């Protein structure tokens, strides 16, 4: 790890200690040691079961039980208590390899966000029993997630400035999409806390567990739908021994090209998936046309040319695949504008669609067809 990162992390740690010293001196504590232990324990346990709600490029929107507890404490207690719950629950071991510097960064980042969010909540003139209370929760949640994002912003600057643009392009959606689910869950938690006190905390844990279970089954449902789409493509290719495995090979080549261009994480996975599904629009085209061993007539070729549009239409209803719809639609466009379906040219064609086009053509040329032998891979 480079020196700039180490300096940044310990600077953040120093700022967090200054905030704790100031807030504890001027605002004091309003929780007992046993209440503090209970809150820290709950935050730590729920953090073990955190999960990713959504991915935006290289950024991940994560719902953490610890964040919900931190917001509940921030909205009900003084800044010093919020600091201690956030800091101690974050620095405790959470399974896997314990990296001290990383844990110091996480603990500093979270404790700063928790304590300053508590300070903000104290200065918002909306009572916890007010009908406008939910507005207060959302404001505090946005502030909390925004502070976390800003400290991550600083880390990106010290790590690799070249990644900053990607991070910034997704920063606003990350803040809003990260704050809303946590804010709503926290609002429910605070509402119960107001009437039930600390007896409500196990219920908050149960609600978080239920949300996680629902997300798990949603993920399984998405996986099943995705597998059915891939199975449709494979079934289509099985009808012709010459195109068998074409989509899988295209996906492999597209992934290799993506890596060369610096694609990573979810972006690379979505590129691979789009390449795997690029010919799904050929479903519905008669086998006699798809498997014809001779040159196609103009009418037959016109039918083939519709498959990128049909493919995009098949994928479009799947919201989690919305990013790859244009990549599939435009994978037969040409740089000079002579391609189809929309005659796009140059940089108007998405880069991912161009990658899929190259991978598609490469596999077609290096595979045997009924009307010609394969080209040498070199």
What is the Cβ-side half-sphere exposure of residue 277, based on CA atoms within 13 angstroms?
30
User: Which residue is listed with tokens 């790859």?
Assistant: 324
User: Which residue is listed with tokens 């399984």?
Assistant: 220
The Cβ of residue 26 has, within 10 Å, a number of other Cβ atoms equal to 11
Residue 372 forms beta bridges with which residues? 369
CA dihedral 112→113→114→115, nearest 10 degrees, is 50
The Cβ of residue 1 has, within 10 Å, a number of other Cβ atoms equal to 10
Distance CA 28, CA 212 (A): 35
Q: For the CA atoms of the chain, what is the radius of gyration?
A: 26
Rounded to the nearest 5 percent, the helix, strand and coil shares of the chain are: 70, 5, 25
Residue 61: strand, helix, or coil: strand
Burial of 3 (0-12, 13-18, 19+ CB in 10 A): exposed
Enzyme catalytic residues? 282
The Cβ of residue 235 has, within 10 Å, a number of other Cβ atoms equal to 10
The DSSP letter of residue 377 is -
CA dihedral 233→239→242→243, nearest 10 degrees, is -10
Q: Is the dihedral of CA 21, 27, 28, 33 positive or negative?
A: negative
């Amino acid at each position: 790890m480079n020196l700039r990162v180490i300096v940044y992390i310990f600077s953040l740690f120093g700022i967090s200690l200054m905030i704790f010293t100031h807030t504890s001196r001027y605002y004091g504590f309003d929780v007992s040691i046993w209440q503090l232990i209970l809150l820290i324990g709950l935050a730590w346990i729920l953090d073990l079961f955190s999960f990713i709600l959504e991915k935006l490029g290289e950024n991940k929107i994560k719902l953490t039980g610890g964040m919900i507890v931190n917001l509940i404490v921030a909205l009900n207690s003084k800044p010093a208590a919020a600091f201690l719950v956030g800091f101690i629950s974050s620095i405790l071991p959470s399974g896997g390899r314990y990296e001290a510097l990383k844990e110091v960064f996480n603990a500093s980042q979270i404790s700063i966000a928790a304590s300053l969010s508590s300070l903000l909540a104290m200065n918002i003139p909306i009572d916890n029993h007010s009908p406008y209370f939910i507005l207060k929760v959302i404001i505090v949640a946005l502030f909390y997630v925004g502070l976390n994002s800003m400290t991550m912003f600083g880390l990106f600057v010290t790590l690799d400035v070249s990644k900053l643009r990607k991070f910034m392009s997704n920063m606003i959606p990350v803040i809003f999409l990260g704050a809303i689910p946590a804010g709503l869950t926290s609002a429910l938690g605070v509402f119960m806390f107001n009437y039930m006190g600390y007896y409500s905390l196990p219920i908050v844990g149960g609600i978080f567990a239920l949300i996680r279970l629902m997300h798990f089954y949603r993920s399984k449902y998405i996986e099943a739908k995705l597998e059915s789409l891939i199975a449709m493509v494979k079934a289509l290719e099985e009808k012709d021994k010459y195109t068998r495995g074409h989509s899988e090979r295209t996906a492999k080549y597209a992934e290799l090209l993506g890596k060369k261009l610096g694609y990573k994480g979810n972006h690379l996975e979505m590129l691979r998936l789009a390449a795997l599904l690029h010919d799904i629009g050929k479903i519905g085209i008669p086998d006699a046309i798809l498997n014809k061993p001779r040159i196609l007539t103009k009418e037959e070729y016109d039918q083939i040319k519709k498959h990128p549009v049909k493919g995009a239409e098949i994928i479009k209803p799947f919201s989690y695949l919305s990013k790859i719809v244009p990549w599939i639609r435009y994978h037969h466009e040409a740089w000079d504008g002579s391609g189809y379906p929309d005659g796009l040219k140059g940089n108007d064609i998405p880069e991912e669609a161009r990658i899929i086009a190259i991978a598609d053509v490469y596999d077609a040329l290096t595979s045997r067809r009924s009307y010609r032998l394969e080209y040498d891979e070199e």
